[in-house]
Amino acid sequence: MGIVFTKMHGLGNDYHFIDGAKYPVVDPAELSRRMSHRHLGAGSDGIILVLPSDTHDFAMRIFNADGSEAETCGNGIRCFAKYVYERGMTDRTRFVIDTLAGPNTVELRVEDGRVVTVRSNMGKPRFERGEIPMIGPEGRVLEETLELDDRTVRVTCANIGNPHAVIFVEDATRVDLATLGPKVENHPSFPRRTNVEWVSVMDRENIVMRIWERGSGITMASGSGSCGAALASMITDRTVRRVNVHLAFGVLTIEWAEDGCVYQEGPATEVFTGEWPTEE
């Protein structure tokens, strides 16, 4: 018998979801590398395991397309919430999902038994260099020069469960992500690598973002990346504390609320369910 999986996406950031209690995965890193391949597999940005939790309602493990494990995933969180609710694994519209970055509380807006949008609490952001982590002197990283092979870029950094380096540009949609992304992700200044976002500011309530995701490369969207991009825009006084992040296939709303936590809200979409063959 194979592994039943469901492909879901948050604004184009796609993952294969597997009920780990029904289908135990011995080597999730290798499975993610094989399943995620766009030509030789089922095609995705990674796999997400739906697991029981000893402390909260559910636990979530995220493996990128290269097999590396991620601390959290904003789009994955929203899809996870839709997955468990619509399969009757919970009847609650507010519950907590454990991640490597800590517990994440989600609130579901449901219409006719279907999850329309999900709002999730991504926790309190961190900005100190050592918390990104990034090598260098203490303090925040605000538009700091980073030397690449053939150019320099200026990065503003935030950690919202995982690391983000944000670069402000005139037009984020015209950036050569495939060339510049890996150079920043793997720069020696980032000992755990980093996600990289290019941002252009439309006005104080709207930004455009494109992302090179650590471990997955170019992705169409990122919940945590949208949070990182919004936070960088806020701490450099480019925007207010509630921002619409415009991505390739839609918009996420990010709010850095008065309680100090960052909330992201947006859709989650189910694509199909399939069965991945297992070797006998």
Asked if residues 48 and 16 have their Cβ atoms less than 8 Å apart, the reply is yes
Q: Report the alpha-carbon distance of residue 203 to residue 183 in Å, rounded.
A: 29
Asked if residues 162 and 101 have their Cβ atoms less than 8 Å apart, the reply is yes
- Per-residue model confidence as pLDDT tens digits over 48-76: 999 999 999 999 999 999 999 999 999 99
pLDDT for the residue 178: 97
Please tell me the pTM assigned to this model: 0.92
- Domain 129-260 indexed as CATH 1.10.3720.10: no
Quickly list DSSP for the chain. --EEEEEEEETTEEEEEEETTTS--S-HHHHHHHHH-TTTSS--SEEEEEE--SSSSEEEEEEETTSPEES--HHHHHHHHHHHHHTTS---SEEEEEETTEEEEEEEEEETTEEEEEEEE----B-BGGGTT-SSSSSB--SEEEE-SS-EEEEEEEESSSEEEEEE-S-GGG--HHHHHHHHHT-TT-TT--EEEEEEEEETTEEEEEEEETTTEEES--HHHHHHHHHHHHHTTSS-SEEEEEETTEEEEEEE-TTS-EEEEE--EEEEEEEE----
In CATH, the number for domain 3-121+266-276 is 3.10.310.10
Domain boundaries, given as residue ranges, for the chain = 3-121+266-276, 129-260
Examine domains 3-121+266-276 and 129-260 and report if their fold is the same. Answer: yes
- Per-residue model confidence as pLDDT tens digits over 76-132: 999 999 999 999 999 999 999 999 999 999 999 999 999 999 999 999 999 999 999
pLDDT for the residue 1: 77
